[in-house]
Amino acid sequence: MSLLEDLKMYVRFTAGLRGYLKHQMTLEEAQRIVRDRMEHREENFLRLLRRGVYGYARSPYLGLLRHAGCELADVERMVRTQGLETTLRSLRQAGVYVSFDEFKGRAPLERNGQLLATTAQDFDNPSLARHFYAETGGSTGKASRIVHDLDHYAATAPHHMLTWAAHGVLDAPMAVWRGILPDGSGINNVLRPARFGHLPEQWFSPIPWWDSRRSLKYSAATCYLIILARLMGTPIPWSRYVPLQRADIVASWVATTVKAQGKCFLAVTVSRALRVALAAEQAGLNLSGAVFKIAGEPPTPAKVRAIERSGVRCYPDYGMSEAGRIGMGCVHPRDCTDVHLLKDAFALMTYPQVVPGHETTVPAFNLTTLLPTTPKIMLNVVSDDYGIVEERRCGCALETFGFTTHLRQIFSSSKLTGEGVTLVGSEMVGIIEETLPARFGGSPLDYQWLEEEDEHGFTRLYIVISPRVTIADEHAAIETVLEALSRSSNGANAARMIWKQAGTLKVRRDEPVWTARGKLMPLHLQRYAANATSER
C-alpha cells in the first residue's frame, strides 16, 4: 500500500470506530439478529450474488457462472424452487467452484481449457469500507492481505456473544494471548467483544512491538488503534509481550483471577493453551473454573487431554483468515473438535477431492459466504479443509438458533500448522526444493517437510534431510529456513518469530517418505502415512 492509501485507511478507521464502539449490543439483540438472518438466509445469498458477483464486472465468478449457462435469474429460480444447498451442489457439478490455490491467486482459473488469470484481491467484497488490513502466513512473498471491516466485526459479534453465553462466560474476566498486527487474531479477539461491552483485562502477545522488522507500520497501526479507542472511552489494554517460554505468566493470571472471581476466560491458540496448562501443572496451580477458547490449529485429543488436566474447560472454534469464524464450539460435543456451523453466515457442503500425490479421497469443504459484510466473496470455494459434517440435535443453546449442522475432525490436506501459525504447503515448496539445496547441496529429492505431534502434544515441523547430504551443523538448516521466512512477507515473518520461540522446527536425518504411487511430496502429513512407503 502507498502512503496515501495508508492515510486514507486511517481516516476510514477513525470515522468508523466511534460508531462501532458507541453501540453496545445486548444479548436479546444478538439473538434477534441471528434468527432474522436464518429466516432470510436464501434472500441474503441472492442479494450478495446480485451485488458482489453479477453487479461486479471484475468478479472471477462471473465467467464460471456464464460458462455454466447461469444468469442471475436462473440462480434465483433454482434457489426458490430447489433451496440454497441443492442449488450450490448443482452449481458445483456444473463447474462453478474455486480451488484453494485459485482463491489464493496462486493459480489461474482453468475450466474446459479456458484460463482466467486472477489475484487474491479479485475475490474481495467490493462493498467493504476496508478499515484496516492484516496478513495470512506466506513464505514466498505471496501472503494474502486480508481486509478487516468494522461493519463485518459488528455483523459477526452476535456469534461470539451467543457462544459465550452458551458456555457461561459472558460475565467472566477475560484475557487474550494472541499477536499484534500483522497477525489479525489479536485485534479480532479485542474488538469483537467490545461490541457487546466486554473488554479483555490483559492482552498478552507473543510478538513484541520492537521485533517486527519490516512491519513497523503494523506496530504503529496497533498502537494507533489502542490510543484511539481509549480516547473514545473504550479502555482497550496495551498488549504485553509474553514469549512462549513464559506461559507461566499467563497461567498465574488465570489462577489468580479464578481464585478471586471464581471464573475467567482466555482466548488462545491450541498450543499456547497447552503451554499454559503445563506451566500451571509445573507450578502446582489449579485452573478449575477457567474456560479457554482454543483456535488456530486442530485441537487433537492429546492436546485437549493435557489442557483439561489443569482443570480448564475448553471449546474450539473453526475459521479461516479470509472468512472469519465458520463454526463455534458445541456445549455438548461428540468429541473435542465439535463445532456448530454458523448457518446464518455460511453454506457448506463436502465434495470428493483427491489429495495430491496420494491415493486418498477426502470430503473437502466447499464454502459459500452469505453475509453482505463478508471480507471475501466465496461461492463454492474449496477451503483445503475436510472433515465430518453431520446433522444432529445436541441440546445446547446454539442449536436453538437453527445451528444443527456440526463439523468435527477437521484437517487440512496441504497446510503446515504449528503453534497456531499456518503456512500453506504449496508456499513452503520453494524452501525445500530451492533454498535448502542451494545452501547445502543435494536435490529436491533429498528434502521434505514432515508434520508430527511430539510426546507432549506439541506439533513439530521436521525438515527431513537425506543422510546423503553433508551438513556440518544441522541447526544451520533451521536458521536457513527462518531466514528465508524473514525475507518474505510480514505474515511469514510473524510465523518465524513464533516458531523460533517455540522451537517448532526440527531436523530429522532420514530418507524422505515416498507415496505408494512412487511420488515424493514436498509436504508429508502423518495422517496419510498409511498410504506411504519409504525408500531406505
Residue 347 belongs to some domain of the structure: no
Looking at the DSSP assignment, which residues form a beta bridge with residue 328? 317, 340
* Pairwise CA distance, residues 414 & 411, whole Å: 9
Residue 411 belongs to some domain of the structure: no
Residue 444 belongs to some domain of the structure: yes
Residues 115 and 263 placed together within one structural domain of the fold: no
Number of C-beta neighbours around residue 71 at 10 A? 11
Query: Please, which residues have CB within 8 angstroms of residue 246's CB and are 6 or more apart in sequence?
Result: none
Residues 104 and 164 placed together within one structural domain of the fold: no
pLDDT for position 357: 57
Q: How many domains does the chain have?
A: 3
pLDDT for position 1: 55
Residues 171 and 291 placed together within one structural domain of the fold: yes
Residues 166 and 224 placed together within one structural domain of the fold: yes
Residue 521 belongs to some domain of the structure: yes
* Pairwise CA distance, residues 440 & 197, whole Å: 55
The two counts, helices (H) then strands (E), for the chain are 17, 24
Tell me the pairing of strands 239-241 and 202-205. Answer: parallel
Residue 215 C-alpha from the chain's centroid = 20
Cell of 110: 482453468
Residue 504 belongs to some domain of the structure: yes
* Pairwise CA distance, residues 392 & 405, whole Å: 7
Residue 377 belongs to some domain of the structure: no
Query: Please, which residues have CB within 8 angstroms of residue 505's CB and are 6 or more apart in sequence?
Result: 460, 461, 462, 463, 478, 481, 482, 499
Residue 474 belongs to some domain of the structure: yes
pLDDT for position 110: 85
Residues 111 and 160 placed together within one structural domain of the fold: no
Residues 21 and 149 placed together within one structural domain of the fold: no
* Pairwise CA distance, residues 101 & 235, whole Å: 40
Burial of residue 40 (number of CB atoms within 10 Å: 0-12, 13-18, 19+): middle
Residue 71 C-alpha from the chain's centroid = 33
Residues 154 and 44 placed together within one structural domain of the fold: no
Residue 406 belongs to some domain of the structure: no
Cell of 374: 463478508
pLDDT for position 143: 46
Residues 315 and 196 placed together within one structural domain of the fold: yes
Beta strand ranges found along 392-488 (DSSP E): 405-412, 415-418, 421-424, 447-453, 459-465
Residues 266 and 159 placed together within one structural domain of the fold: yes
Residues 276 and 191 placed together within one structural domain of the fold: yes
User: What domain range is 48 assigned to?
Assistant: 3-123
* Domain end (from 321, 349, 369): 321
CATH number at residue 494: 3.30.300
CATH number at residue 204: 3.40.50.720
Tell me the pairing of strands 132-135 and 145-148. Answer: antiparallel
pLDDT for position 115: 83
Residues 239 and 293 placed together within one structural domain of the fold: yes
Return the residue matching grid coordinates 448457518.
Answer: 343
Residues 43 and 184 placed together within one structural domain of the fold: no
* Domain end (from 278, 295, 321): 321
pLDDT for position 420: 59
Return the residue matching grid coordinates 491415493.
Answer: 359
pLDDT for position 142: 46
* Domain end (from 75, 90, 123): 123
Beta strand ranges found along 38-173 (DSSP E): 109-111, 114-116, 132-135, 145-148
Cell of 57: 464486472
Return the residue matching grid coordinates 478487516.
Answer: 148
Residue numbers of the chain with a pLDDT score lower than 50? 137-143, 214, 528-536
pLDDT for position 502: 83
Identify the DSSP state of 107: S
Identify the DSSP state of 124: B
Q: Is 114 helix (H, G, I), strand (E, B) or coil?
A: strand
